[in-house]
Chain A
């Protein structure tokens, strides 16, 4: 399909320059466009989500609709860890988590957030390992549908769990201070947290793809039975890949939940038919299993979605439905996939004359 077993250095000079430019834009972003800081934060969340999905769907060929579960688990794990040490959780959720219920000072808040994010990452990882041991044995579309069911299962279970607020959701502790300045401060801090997390996850994943791990999961994508026959411990690598996704998505969920303040089980935490599918679309749009694809997909999708939601409210899902169909039908290999098929030399792939016909038709 892609990659073709050619080992490339993921960080050559051009790539590094582009990455530095993106990092510079990322750091300058909230100062240049201060009004859009929250939007930019969500954008980096999208980038992270799309790269972690690509680990499963793009590099390993396991089209997961269930990655949203780790996101939601992280959100709730962090909520519990952030609230429980300071106040009685049952009373807090019973009161609907009104703002006055929990007032923290700065130290308490960041201690809670740090521990919460850690707990979120670990619980995301653990859920990935536990659930993965059962569900990662499924192949192809069975895996896809199974994970879709899993995400809705998680949403319904949490909605029925009264301790964490049931169907009406849970409210994260507020950032200390109620002034506009403290609100801006919070937005800025979360921007850089999300940016740093996205950067870390990206670098780690790209480095991992250049190691034996990357080769193993690509082998699983290309032919799992053959990979197993060659002695690759496929079950272990699959679980590892999902656990890495789960870890980063868990932390990401914790940060995103704190950014939103109020967390709803069906609509934000375990939004299986929303964000759970959007992450797939971002990667499919950009190009599965490519270096830049998830980033390009995240940019295009995020911008398009925001435009739909701002200007086509009431018709946004109709527009999104059409967009999905167009992406899937006309760009099944994504934008980068299209470029790769037409300009393989851009990707450092040497095209032998005999192979050219095959490349062009694929």
Chain B
């Protein structure tokens, strides 16, 4: 441990390399944390499912690479698919059908999308070898699409029921309840999704093969994988787009208004139920795109989500809710700190460091608050 520290101090180039790597990791953490801050701030829900959305997004990228499509395309696709899945988790057509006055075409469309996404996944996962073979044989995706459509006929009704059940039982009920309830309920969804992914998709550790090079500088002491640089750029781009969306668009304004005061927002004619659905889905989309990056940079595994959730939580409490710049800085900082700790303490203690740091950050926050209180009085 000490030797590693001395080694680092003697080699500033190696230190710089670690810091750069950490910054590029941190960009992904910042994205996930921003999603968590969004849901927390607007809906007052601590979303433990965050990590599972990341893993799900990672699997989208993995299947893209399996089917011979560049996983980079998966970043927006994962966002789209997770947006739709989360909308399904929050609101489903069943809801609109049961409460006829709330029947909306976009809900139905969302339901069909959820079903097709699920069908795409389930059929794709179980039929990967067949699909690969057919792609190789006919050189096109047509047979794969045909298989997907077939399975849709089965999955659409199933997902209607599943989605409807989830909606009426879970998320809408926990908006407005205390945070402990939301932690437990989303924890329930999270272990549900973990085993669902494990059984329906794949139980292995998967990497999305992106086929990009690594740049080396200073005689190989500083290496920059292109994919990590792309991840950093993507994360910043998504951050900027989100900031613009929240500030400029009507929908973003509605989200911010609901966060400030849901009751007043309702009086002003904002459909807060819809805003909640959109916020939750937006968060899932952010996590999904982050997950696609994770699958390309590291790897994804069905049960590996919790650590992303807690990292996001740490970044959020360090930065504070509704502080986008703070979230980005804290996320990047966490990436650097974690990378350095992994080198100095040894890789087996890297996860321990993350969780230990979370406890320390919480205690630091408490001390800071109690100090502030003393100054006030």
Contact = CB atoms under 8 A, between A and B. Distances in A.
A323 B169 CA distance: 11
Interface stretch (A103-111, A182-190, A293-301, A310-318): A310-318
B270 interface: no
A166 B46 CA distance: 33
B310 interface: yes
A43 to B, nearest CB: 22
Q: Is the interface of B mostly helix, strand, loop or mixed?
A: helix
A287 B314 CA distance: 31
Interface in B124-174: 169-170, 173-174
A216 B346 CA distance: 45
Contact of A149 (B185, B194, B355): B355
B359 A322 contact: no
Given A145-B313, A325-B169, A157 B195 contact: no
A280 B196 CA distance: 23
Interface string A149-189: 11011001101100000110000000000000000000000
A325 B314 CA distance: 25
A232 interface: no
Interface in A315-339: 315-318, 320-326, 328-329, 332
A63 B169 contact: no
Nearest to A281: B184
A321 to B, nearest CB: 3
Given A152-B355, A325-B169, A329-B173, A140 B180 contact: yes
A114 interface: no
A321 B306 contact: no
A314 B302 CA distance: 13
Contact of B355 (A144, A153, A167, A281): A153
A146 interface: yes
B370 A332 contact: no
A184 to B, nearest CB: 35
Contacts of A140: 179-180
A326 B359 CA distance: 30
A4 interface: no
Interface string A121-156: 000000000000011011011101110111011001
A336 B174 CA distance: 21
B190 interface: yes
A332 B194 contact: no
A153 B190 CA distance: 20
A63 B182 CA distance: 13
Contacts of B362: 135, 138, 142, 145-146, 149
B274 interface: no
A280 B365 CA distance: 25
A324 B185 contact: yes
Contact of B187 (A166, A277, A314): A277
Contact of B348 (A137, A160, A281): A160
Contacts of B188: 320-325, 328
Nearest to A57: B180
Interface in A263-298: 273, 277, 280-281, 284
B184 A324 contact: yes
B181 to A, nearest CB: 6
Interface in B296-312: 306, 310
B366 interface: yes
Nearest to B40: A141
B352 interface: yes
Contacts of A153: 352, 355-356, 358-359
B199 A325 contact: no
B351 interface: yes
A357 to B, nearest CB: 22
Contact of A141 (B183, B351, B367): B183
Contact of B189 (A138, A167, A277, A325): A325
A314 B198 CA distance: 9
B245 interface: no
A176 to B, nearest CB: 36
B192 A318 contact: yes
B199 A315 contact: yes
B192 A322 contact: yes
A141 B187 CA distance: 14
A320 B180 contact: no
A277 B185 CA distance: 12
B195 A328 contact: no
A219 B185 CA distance: 27
B177 interface: yes
Interface of A: 63, 134-135, 137-138, 140-142, 144-146, 148-150, 152-153, 156-157, 159-160, 166-167, 273, 277, 280-281, 284, 314-318, 320-326, 328-329, 332
23 contacts: A63-B180, A135-B362, A137-B370, A138-B366, A140-B179, A142-B317, A149-B356, A152-B310, A152-B355, A156-B355, A157-B352, A160-B348, A167-B348, A314-B195, A314-B199, A315-B199, A321-B189, A324-B187, A324-B188, A325-B169, A325-B170, A325-B185, A329-B169
